[in-house]
Amino acid sequence: EVELSSDGSAVNTGPKGVINDWRRFKQLETEQRQEQRREMERLIKKLSVTCRSHLDEETDKQKQKELQEKINGKVAW
């Protein structure tokens, strides 16, 4: 049996229509899960890039100090 939905498209309310609806639901569910996974990966990458360890900060401070000393002429080239 075929009916028209509110948007004018045909809707099959028989067994084939139910199976097609279930397949479409599963497809949308899979796409949503994949999008959530991609969004989570983007968030993890974004947060991991901004996180710095104490050792990284100390190394940067040392490099800045050495650069400043070179600029001030304290270190011979």
Could you read off the pLDDT of 6-35 as tens digits, one per residue? 565 556 678 888 888 899 999 999 999 999
- Rounded distance between C-alpha atoms, residue 50 and residue 55, angstroms: 14
In a domain, 39, yes or no: yes
Instruction: Report residue 39 as tokens.
Output: 């969004």
- Rounded distance between C-alpha atoms, residue 31 and residue 43, angstroms: 18
Please write the tens of the pLDDT for every residue from 29-72.
999 999 999 999 998 888 776 667 788 889 999 999 988 888 88
In a domain, 5, yes or no: no
In a domain, 3, yes or no: no
Four-CA torsion 65, 70, 72, 74, nearest 10 degrees: 100
For the cut 80, the answer to whether the pLDDT of residue 1 exceeds it is no
- Rounded distance between C-alpha atoms, residue 34 and residue 40, angstroms: 10
In a domain, 8, yes or no: no
Q: How many domains does the chain have?
A: 1
> What's the domain range around 22?
15-76
In a domain, 6, yes or no: no
In a domain, 63, yes or no: yes
In a domain, 10, yes or no: no
Q: Name residues whose C-beta falls within 8 Å of residue 66's C-beta, 6 or more positions apart in sequence.
A: 75
